[in-house]
Chain A
């Protein structure tokens, strides 16, 4: 009887403890074996995810969402740290940026304004631990979760990690939330294989990185651990319609017809740019703004952009979001037809171009962005990355791809730019200024959409200036367009956050058209003009870089995306 009493008391107590939040922490910690002892690398993990992840990736494997946004790709740091006998030079580089000749094309910023030497060393110790871990900890799910997931998702997976408040979208509460990316029916939880796929793939350009570099064994262990936090459906069992491997029978043109009839454009837009009529009003189950995907940018599709992932997403919907399931609406052939149409909308993600060509456009004005010449010209894709050079840094830029053409007619020299933007923001709201100080408040403000071109003359061997723009002795010229503003501004930039207006804006015009989720902008100058010939000398070797601010995301000041310097050569004119 004493055994009976003790056993049932323990069970009752545990029951109370688990169901009343206060004591859950220590009770469950004890149950799942997550060590309560302090993780010596805990602080370094926060710093790394905050400052380094967006380029270098979540385990420093050089696979962050913006690893290739700048001319020099972000490297895999693990062998670099492993090979270094003396870590001091690496820490120096983190704090002061690359020095000497490497300074020019290298995108590595200086973090001395936010990191101390001690913190730099701690980060390197963390990177060292990533390499060690792949050998020893590959099956320890709780330990891997603590090391790689808890910083955002919290030690118990409740979406309350130290970094959670800084990220948009916010990290999930893994114990309660709907899992979105699944091969199961609407309202049903994920399978183990779905969790593995999501962890390995990462979720586009959000804070959830791609963890493929951890290795399949480790990812399996984490997914198995997740099964203790939430309900995971067994892998075997009734599949959904999407699992049927058919698709060969669909007619190619059916996809577009179905996209129209089923009104996918209502949210995703006529051209798939996520700018449908309903786009601004959608909310997820947590009440947060939920933006429909821009289907033309496959690297940002969180559920995966390959055809199988698209079929699954369309068939099963995304639990907890406005994306419904179409499994009971479309036949299997129709599902594949729509998915193939969506796959066909995807654009190729551009690499940083070696140079930009300058086209001769013959006669006539180039100022109209929709003119036939621009429509027929072959644009060059330019990728943009996060502005990580001056505080406040901005690791989640909204616009990361632009299409550019430079042309010279008998009257004008013109720069044509096209980029996707769900919402046309032409106004500045007065109460924006105070909200701007907290970049973590999404969608609560509206500022103008803006774009700037920085121009600089370069030497013939093409040595490019540092990415952060002008410096204390080397200003660059910047043309700034703001949506809704009367005229573009010509400014002189002495650094990313230091610009001063110049006189002589006459002759610089900006004409912008917003259509179907896309801005098309022409910045032009009359060519036979003294100021033009001074800024853009005939025959000169020049370089330009782009800065874009997306108004609906509150991008303002130093919160913008940034491209590398791209060389171009002006003809004699």
Chain B
């Protein structure tokens, strides 16, 4: 085969197998807009589920409130990950000075949803004096299952690639679970206890915004952002 044929075939092969090609260009954004709003539960929210603690009660207590669905008094859903799905140019990624911290305290993961830029090294702490293990399920990044007994106070893990939703569980304490979000760009937010979120310094343009909740699933909205303008969304999510 001629070289050019070979190269074309190789490119075709690459495209057929769908290797995603995207890179983010971060810099200064002048006159950016804002996307903000609240995510509310459609209908009557169920009461928060309680889980009975079955072991290590001295450290873990008797009962835990399940973080799988937390809805506030006015219907706001906590812990919804809001992000612009595809954006190639915008504000610079905010890389924090210290590593993101993921703690195991009172047999709960804190925070329940951890957001960080791809490539970060996470400091995993064991603040309880008992055995936990950090067991991830992940597709883009290598998954791992690392024991963390009481004498290993800090474990460090680097997550190289962007990934939307790495699940973290502790096998020793079945109710413990959390999610890691490895960001490919800075336009990610987490709703607070009232369901409120805000994405600032968004360059003017049309975007798709995705709302993801671990129990309620995904929802997308299309928005148009204008310079110095604010887009306010009220998103309803329901059990399906």
Query: A interface vs B, CB < 8 Å?
Result: 3-4, 7-8, 11-12, 14-16, 18-19, 178, 185-188, 261-263, 266-267, 277-278, 281-283, 285, 317-319, 321-326, 328-329
Asked if A325 and B146 sit within 8 Å, CB to CB, the answer is yes
Please indicate the chain A residues that have their CB under 8 angstroms from the CB of B148 in the complex: 329
Asked if A261 and B16 sit within 8 Å, CB to CB, the answer is no
Q: How far is the CA of A186 from the CA of B149 in the complex (A)?
A: 16
Partner of A7, one of B5, B15, B150, B171: B5
Partner of A263, one of B4, B137, B145, B149: B149
Asked if A187 and B144 sit within 8 Å, CB to CB, the answer is yes
Q: How far is the CA of A328 from the CA of B130 in the complex (A)?
A: 17
B131 and chain A: residue at smallest CB distance: A263
B5 and chain A: residue at smallest CB distance: A4
State whether the Cβ of B30 lies closer than 8 Å to any Cβ in chain A.
Answer: no
Partner of A324, one of B4, B54, B145, B174: B145
Closest Cβ of chain A to B123, distance in Å, is: 13
User: Given the known A-B contacts A188-B142, A266-B172, are A329 and B152 also in contact in the complex, defined by CB atoms under 8 Å?
Assistant: yes
Considering the complex, which residues of chain B in the window 104-160 have a beta carbon less than 8 Å from any beta carbon of chain A?
Answer: 130-131, 133-135, 137, 142-152, 155
State whether the Cβ of B220 lies closer than 8 Å to any Cβ in chain A.
Answer: no
B156 and chain A: residue at smallest CB distance: A328
Asked if B150 and A281 sit within 8 Å, CB to CB, the answer is no
Q: How far is the CA of A317 from the CA of B133 in the complex (A)?
A: 11
Given contacts A322-B171, A326-B147, A328-B146, 17 further A-B contacts (CB under 8 A): A7-B1, A7-B9, A8-B9, A11-B12, A12-B15, A15-B16, A16-B16, A262-B131, A263-B150, A277-B55, A278-B55, A281-B54, A281-B174, A283-B171, A321-B145, A325-B145, A328-B152
16 A/B residue pairs, CB under 8 Å, sorted by A: A7-B12, A8-B9, A15-B16, A19-B18, A178-B143, A262-B131, A262-B149, A266-B131, A266-B172, A277-B54, A278-B171, A278-B172, A317-B147, A322-B145, A328-B155, A329-B149
Asked if A324 and B135 sit within 8 Å, CB to CB, the answer is yes
User: Given the known A-B contacts A3-B1, A7-B1, A277-B55, are A324 and B13 also in contact in the complex, defined by CB atoms under 8 Å?
Assistant: no
Please indicate the chain B residues that have their CB under 8 angstroms from the CB of A14 in the complex: 16
User: Given the known A-B contacts A15-B13, A15-B17, A187-B142, are A329 and B147 also in contact in the complex, defined by CB atoms under 8 Å?
Assistant: yes
Please indicate the chain B residues that have their CB under 8 angstroms from the CB of A326 in the complex: 147
Asked if A187 and B5 sit within 8 Å, CB to CB, the answer is no
Partner of A261, one of B137, B142, B144, B151: B151
Please indicate the chain A residues that have their CB under 8 angstroms from the CB of B13 in the complex: 11, 15
Query: B interface vs A, CB < 8 Å?
Result: 1, 4-5, 8-9, 12-13, 15-18, 54-55, 130-131, 133-135, 137, 142-152, 155, 171-174
Partner of A262, one of B1, B15, B137, B147: B147
Please indicate the chain A residues that have their CB under 8 angstroms from the CB of B142 in the complex: 187-188
Main secondary structure of the interface of A (DSSP, over half): loop
Please indicate the chain B residues that have their CB under 8 angstroms from the CB of A317 in the complex: 145-147
How many A-B pairs have beta carbons closer than 8 Å: the answer is 104
Q: How far is the CA of A262 from the CA of B151 in the complex (A)?
A: 8
Closest Cβ of chain B to A160, distance in Å, is: 22
Q: How far is the CA of A187 from the CA of B8 in the complex (A)?
A: 35
Asked if B8 and A4 sit within 8 Å, CB to CB, the answer is yes
B148 and chain A: residue at smallest CB distance: A329
Partner of A322, one of B16, B18, B133, B150: B133
User: Given the known A-B contacts A3-B1, A19-B18, A263-B131, are A12 and B147 also in contact in the complex, defined by CB atoms under 8 Å?
Assistant: no
Q: How far is the CA of A293 from the CA of B137 in the complex (A)?
A: 22
Asked if A187 and B143 sit within 8 Å, CB to CB, the answer is yes
Please indicate the chain B residues that have their CB under 8 angstroms from the CB of A12 in the complex: 12, 15-16
Please indicate the chain B residues that have their CB under 8 angstroms from the CB of A263 in the complex: 130-131, 149-150, 172
A8 and chain B: residue at smallest CB distance: B12
Please indicate the chain B residues that have their CB under 8 angstroms from the CB of A266 in the complex: 55, 131, 172
Asked if A19 and B17 sit within 8 Å, CB to CB, the answer is yes
Q: How far is the CA of A278 from the CA of B135 in the complex (A)?
A: 15
Please indicate the chain B residues that have their CB under 8 angstroms from the CB of A186 in the complex: 144-146
Closest Cβ of chain B to A95, distance in Å, is: 47
Please indicate the chain A residues that have their CB under 8 angstroms from the CB of B147 in the complex: 262, 317, 324-326, 329
Please indicate the chain A residues that have their CB under 8 angstroms from the CB of B152 in the complex: 328-329
List 8 tightest A-B contacts by C-beta distance, closest first: A15-B16, A322-B171, A263-B131, A8-B12, A324-B147, A187-B142, A187-B144, A324-B133
Asked if A11 and B146 sit within 8 Å, CB to CB, the answer is no
B134 and chain A: residue at smallest CB distance: A324
Q: How far is the CA of A179 from the CA of B174 in the complex (A)?
A: 23
Please indicate the chain B residues that have their CB under 8 angstroms from the CB of A323 in the complex: 145
Q: How far is the CA of A322 from the CA of B172 in the complex (A)?
A: 8
Closest Cβ of chain A to B20, distance in Å, is: 14
Asked if B171 and A282 sit within 8 Å, CB to CB, the answer is yes
Please indicate the chain B residues that have their CB under 8 angstroms from the CB of A282 in the complex: 171, 174
Q: How far is the CA of A494 from the CA of B158 in the complex (A)?
A: 66
Q: How far is the CA of A285 from the CA of B168 in the complex (A)?
A: 12
Closest Cβ of chain B to A187, distance in Å, is: 4
Partner of A319, one of B12, B16, B145, B151: B145
Closest Cβ of chain A to B227, distance in Å, is: 41
Please indicate the chain A residues that have their CB under 8 angstroms from the CB of B1 in the complex: 3, 7
Please indicate the chain B residues that have their CB under 8 angstroms from the CB of A187 in the complex: 142-145
Closest Cβ of chain B to A445, distance in Å, is: 20
Please indicate the chain B residues that have their CB under 8 angstroms from the CB of A325 in the complex: 144-147
Q: How far is the CA of A285 from the CA of B145 in the complex (A)?
A: 11
Closest Cβ of chain B to A238, distance in Å, is: 14
Q: How far is the CA of A14 from the CA of B155 in the complex (A)?
A: 43
Closest Cβ of chain B to A490, distance in Å, is: 39
Q: How far is the CA of A317 from the CA of B171 in the complex (A)?
A: 13
B2 and chain A: residue at smallest CB distance: A3
Closest Cβ of chain B to A407, distance in Å, is: 39
Q: How far is the CA of A534 from the CA of B131 in the complex (A)?
A: 57
Closest Cβ of chain A to B16, distance in Å, is: 3
Q: How far is the CA of A100 from the CA of B55 in the complex (A)?
A: 58
Please indicate the chain B residues that have their CB under 8 angstroms from the CB of A322 in the complex: 133, 135, 145, 171-172
Please indicate the chain A residues that have their CB under 8 angstroms from the CB of B172 in the complex: 263, 266-267, 278, 322
Q: Which of A185, A318, A322 has its CB near the most chain B CB atoms (within 10 A)?
A: A322
User: Given the known A-B contacts A15-B13, A328-B155, are A3 and B5 also in contact in the complex, defined by CB atoms under 8 Å?
Assistant: yes
Q: Which of A7, A188, A324 has its CB near the most chain B CB atoms (within 10 A)?
A: A324
Closest Cβ of chain B to A13, distance in Å, is: 8
Closest Cβ of chain A to B202, distance in Å, is: 34
Q: Which of B1, B4, B147, B173 has its CB near the most chain A CB atoms (within 10 A)?
A: B147
Closest Cβ of chain B to A66, distance in Å, is: 30
Please indicate the chain B residues that have their CB under 8 angstroms from the CB of A328 in the complex: 146, 152, 155
